[in-house]
Chains A and B, each alone.
Chain A
Amino acid sequence: MTRLKKYRLFLFLLFGLLLLAILDQKLAIQSVELTGKSLLDMLLLLPPVFILVGLLDQWIKKETLIKYMGRGSGVKGILITLFLATVAAGPLYIAFPIAVLLLKKGAGVRNIVFFLGAWSTVKFPVLIYEFTSFGAEFTLLHITFGLLFFYLTGMLFEKIYTQEKLLQHDNTMKT
C-alpha cells in the first residue's frame, strides 16, 4: 500500500493521459513519445551520477568535506561548489540527492543553496548552446547575475536554515 502511495502522482497523471487519449489521440501519442524520450535521457544520466554519489559517500571523510565546503570555507568553498555544480550534467532534481549528501557530510547551507543555484544557472556543456543561441553579452549577464544572486540567497538562507533542520526531512536514504 505504501508503495502504491508513492506512485499516486504518477498514476494520477497516467489518468490524465488516458483522458487526453480519449479527447485527442494525436496529442496523446505525442505526449507518450516526449515522455519516453525524456525518460530515456534521464535513465542515461542518472545511473553514473548516483554511482558517483554513492562512491563519494563511502570515500570522502566528513572532516575533509567540512574543510572544503563547510561553514567558513570561504573562497575555496565557493570555487569547489561552483566546480561541482557546473561539471555535473542533468536537470535540477538530480542535484537534490547530491546536495543532501554534501549537507550530511558537513557542507554549509550557504554553499548548498549556491550549489543548487549554480546547477540551475551554469552548465559547462550547456554554455555552448547559450553562447551560440544568444551571444556573449547575454550569456555573461546571465551567469554573472545568476551566480551573484544565488550566493547572496545562500548567505540569507544560512541565517534561516541550519544543516540539521534541512536534513530532518530527507528520505532519499530510507528503505
Chain B
Amino acid sequence: MISGMVLYTVATLYLVFSFYRDKHKTMAALRSSWKMFYNVLPDLLAIMLFVGLILSLLTPSLISSIIGENSGLLGVAYSTFIGSIALIPSFIVFPLGKTLVQNGAALPQVAVLMSTLMSVGLVSLPLEQKTFGKSFAYARNGAAILMSLLFGVIVWMVLS
C-alpha cells in the first residue's frame, strides 16, 4: 500500500515535470505506457486467475504438511514445484513463510519455497518467452531454480 502511494507520487511528479518541459514528449511517453499495458494485459489476467486458483487449493496447513521437518529431499522437490508454479506478491512471501514454519514446515524447505516463489515463474513463462525468447526464458528460470536449491542447502548447513 505504501509502496503504491510512493510510486504514484513519484510518477505524478515526473509526469507533471515532463509535461511542463515538453508536451509532445510527454504525450508520446503516455502513449507508449498505454501500449505496454495493453500488450501485457491478457497474460496478466491469466496469471492472476491462475494464482487465485492455486492459492485457494494450496492452504498454509496443506503446504506445511507436505514440507514438514522430516520431508527431506521429497519436501525440497515439492517446495521447488509449488514455488515455481505459484506466483504471489513478494510482500506476502515472507509472512506466508513464517506461517508455514509455525505450522510445522522445515526451514530449508520453506527457504526454497520462498526463493522459487519470487524468482521462478512458470505461470509468467509465456510472457517471459514473448519478451526475451524461449531459450533465455528457460535458462533464466533454470538458473533461478538452481539458486533457490543452493540457498536451501546454505540455510540447512548454517541455520539448522
Contacts of A149 in B (CB 8 A): 143, 146-147, 150
Considering the complex, which residues of chain A in the window 1-48 have a beta carbon less than 8 Å from any beta carbon of chain B? Answer: 6-7, 9-10, 12-14, 16-17, 20, 27-28, 30-36, 38-39, 41-42, 44-48
Q: Pick the contact of A10 from B7, B30, B49, B159 — CB < 8 Å?
A: B49
Q: Pick the contact of A38 from B34, B89, B132 — CB < 8 Å?
A: B89
* Alpha-carbon separation in the docked complex, A46 to B89 (Å): 13
From DSSP, what is the main secondary structure of chain A's interface residues? Answer: helix
Enumerate chain B interface residues (CB-CB to A < 8 A).
Answer: 2-4, 6-8, 10-12, 14-15, 18, 25-26, 28-37, 39-40, 42-53, 55-57, 87-91, 93-95, 97-98, 111, 115, 118-119, 121, 124, 126-133, 135-136, 139-140, 143-144, 146-147, 150-151, 154-155, 158-159
Contact B119 A120 (CB under 8 A): yes
Task: For residue B123, give the distance in angstroms from its CB to the closest CB of chain A.
Answer: 9
Contact A146 B147 (CB under 8 A): yes
* Alpha-carbon separation in the docked complex, A41 to B14 (Å): 22
Query: Can you pick out 29 interface pairs between chain A and chain B where the beta carbons lie within 8 Å of each other?
Result: A9-B42, A10-B42, A10-B45, A34-B51, A38-B89, A42-B44, A48-B10, A58-B18, A58-B25, A58-B32, A89-B3, A91-B88, A92-B119, A93-B128, A96-B128, A113-B140, A117-B144, A126-B90, A129-B94, A133-B97, A141-B155, A142-B111, A145-B151, A149-B143, A150-B143, A150-B147, A153-B143, A169-B129, A171-B39
Contact B48 A121 (CB under 8 A): no
Contacts of A134 in B (CB 8 A): 94, 97-98
Contacts of A97 in B (CB 8 A): 36, 40, 131
Contact B136 A50 (CB under 8 A): no
From DSSP, what is the main secondary structure of chain B's interface residues? Answer: helix
Enumerate chain A interface residues (CB-CB to B < 8 A).
Answer: 6-7, 9-10, 12-14, 16-17, 20, 27-28, 30-36, 38-39, 41-42, 44-55, 57-59, 89-93, 96-97, 99-100, 113, 116-117, 120-121, 123, 125-126, 129-130, 133-134, 137-138, 141-142, 145-146, 149-150, 153, 157, 160-161, 165-166, 168-175
By beta carbon, the residue of chain B nearest A5 is: B42
Contacts of A100 in B (CB 8 A): 131-132
Known A-B contacts A54-B33, A173-B36; the reply to A31 vs B53 at CB < 8 A is yes
* Alpha-carbon separation in the docked complex, A31 to B45 (Å): 13
